[in-house]
Structure 1
Amino acid sequence: MIKRILIVNVNWVGDVLFSTPFIRALRAANPDAHIACLLHPRCREMLESNPRLNEIIIYDEDAAHKGLIGKWRLIKELKKRRFDTAFLLHRSFTKAFITYLSGIKERVGYPTKNRGGVLTRIIEEPSEELHKVEYFLNIARAAGCDIGDSSYEFFV
């Protein structure tokens, strides 16, 4: 059973909204887990009232986490939180590598940007272009989550 989950979310407001069905499915499959979301500061308001998340961690690559020292600071922050699993919705190599250096044992995502070597569970890239909601839900399906509803949600 997964106890501490990190979702590495995307950087754009619309895409963050499209990640909410993934968050709902992950919470339904892990009702007692601590679920945190790593998020760009401009997207914070999209998820800060989402009751399915326990914590939002801001990754500010333009200020606090800029450059090598800033990224090292983020790695130390994540290490302290002792996550078991990271789900990488973001496609970047850097964010996948950060989860690896943070000591997160299971790292799940698509092998985009040559990051397959730092993932522990690789989700096969779809053969055709999918809507972002379905693209993210494929990761949830691969993790054994039931997908009941693919509509997105916003909490105020």
Structure 2
Amino acid sequence: MNIVVFCPSLIGDTVMATPVFRALRRGYPQAKLTAVLRPNVAPVLDGAEWFDETVFFHPHGKLREHRATAVVKRLRSERRDMAVLLPNSFRSAWVAWLSGVKRRVGYDRYARGLLLTDRLPPPRDAAGKLLPCPIVEYYLALLRLIGCPSDGVRLELATTAADEAAADEACRALGVSAEQGIVCLNNGGAFGPAKSWPNASYGILARRLAEELGVSVVVLCGPSEREASRKIAELAGHPRVVSLADQPLSLGLSKAFVRRASLLVTTDSGPRHFAAALGTPVVSLFGPTRIEWTRTNHPHAVHIYHPVPCGPCQRPVCPLGHHDCMTRLAPDRVFEAARRMLAGRRGIVPSLQPGARENSWRPG
């Protein structure tokens, strides 16, 4: 059997799809599994062994071989029995249909139902409005549609030897010692600036972590976040607070640092999901986005938020211009959560309210 999996276009969503990848590999052990995904997201899955082939697809990519016409040609070069479409986009269904895939499985959204052979309606209320559903479970429902069993919602990632070597080299270059523990900080994300916590707040947190708890603090970043990462380390003004901004960056490097960290403090972005998949305790800072959509079922996760009348708005840029949901989230509250997590207290306590553990979080 030859199965194609159209993967999500975002890093965090791809991590949340890993229970699907694992289930397909176990459910069809003799099948050839092909991942169709964006080239910038592909390194997230490096080190895993679910897929036999990877096809890069970016509809607006610089390289022609990554665009729809080339992808269709490549998929048509072999008989493909089934396509599992995790993205909701019309384009993914259209490409699968053009590629001659016999069975096409996905959600009936965005007028693409006629392109699918196996359609699943998304969960809606009586008025027809979409109901919040954890993306992990949303994806797994497609497997139930085709009768493929899963072994649960556990996220899973791996690092490669090259990833770990890059992290070792960065630690040497930056003078980072793991003896007293490493705390990684992550800000921003592809969603938009509304998710970000102020650099000044991160700087205060970083200094307190290094000064009061004696840990090494590493500020992660992607290529577009180098300046913010440098600024956080600069504002912290402590020798044990360093930034990866001037290191050779990669998703593998970020994964390796998250894997070896004692704690990650992050906004609702891709590295938050790395922590869940790699078993690293995490304190997540929520503002405009709703936890109901991105629940990871991580037993060592704490979420903190500042309730505002206008939120969570699910907007990439604050429509009111004040960004209160994040700017009014006090560094002292985040530090206290981090301190307790580092001390081994797995879960939130009353003094951290409003907020709660991941499995009982409610918007304020």
Q: Same fold (TM over 0.5)?
A: yes
Q: How many residues align?
A: 152
Per-residue deviation at 1:155?
1.4
Counterpart position of 1:63: 62
Correspondence 1:154 to 2:157? yes
The corresponding residue for 2:85 is 88
1:106 matched to 2:103:
yes
Deviation of residue 10 (structure 1)?
0.8
**Matching of residue 143 in structure 1 with residue 142 in structure 2:** no
SS in 2 for 1:16: helix
Query: Is the Cα–Cα contact under 8 Å of residues 65 and 71 in structure 2 kept in the other structure?
Result: no
Of structures 1 and 2, the one with the larger relative CO (CA 8 A, separation 6+) is 1
**Per-residue CA distance 1:63-108 (angstroms, 9 max, x = gap):** 23499xx422221111013211000001110111011010001000
- Name the CA distance, whole Å, in 1 between partners of 2:53 and 2:89: 22
Give distance in 1, aligned partners of 2:136 and 2:158. 17
Deviation beyond 6 Å, 4+ runs, structure 1: none
Separation of aligned partners in 2, 1:24 and 1:87: 13
- Correspondences of 1:4-153 after superposition (within 5 Å): 4-61=2-59, 62-65=61-64, 70-127=67-124, 128-153=131-156
Following the alignment from structure 1 to structure 2, what is the Cα–Cα distance between the partners of residues 18 and 29?
Answer: 18
What CA distance in whole angstroms lies between the structure 2 residues aligned with 1:149 and 1:71? 33
Gaps of 5+ in 1: none
Say if 1:97 and 1:65 are closer, same or farther in 2 by CA, change over 3 A.
Answer: farther
Specify the code of the residue in structure 1 equivalent to 2:63. A
Q: Distance in 2 between matches of 1:49 and 1:112?
A: 33
2:148 maps to a residue whose letter is C
Amino acid at match of 2:86: L
Alignment-mate amino acid for residue 21 of structure 2: I
1:53 deviation in Å?
Answer: 1.2
- TM-score, length-scaled by structure 2: 0.40
SS at match of 1:7: strand
Are 1:48 and 1:56, in contact at CA under 8 Å, matched by a contact in 2? Answer: no
**Mapped contact 2:55–2:71 kept (Cα < 8 A):** no
Tell me, yes or no, if the aligned pair for 1:110 and 1:123 is still in contact at 8 Å: yes
Distance 1:116 1:65, change over 3 A: farther
- Aligned residue type for 1:56: T
Query: Over the residues paired in the alignment, what is the CA RMSD in angstroms?
Result: 1.6
Greater C-alpha radius of gyration: 2
**Distance in structure 2 (CA, Å) of the matches to 1:147 and 1:40:** 25
For 2:104, what is the secondary structure of its paired residue?
A: strand
Deviations 1:21-54 (A, max 9, x none): 0111111110110001100111111113221111
Percent of pairs with identical residues? 30
Alpha-carbon shift at residue 60 of structure 1 (Å): 2.5
- Contact 2:109–2:121 at 8 Å: present in 1 too? no
Structure-1-length-normalised TM-score: 0.91
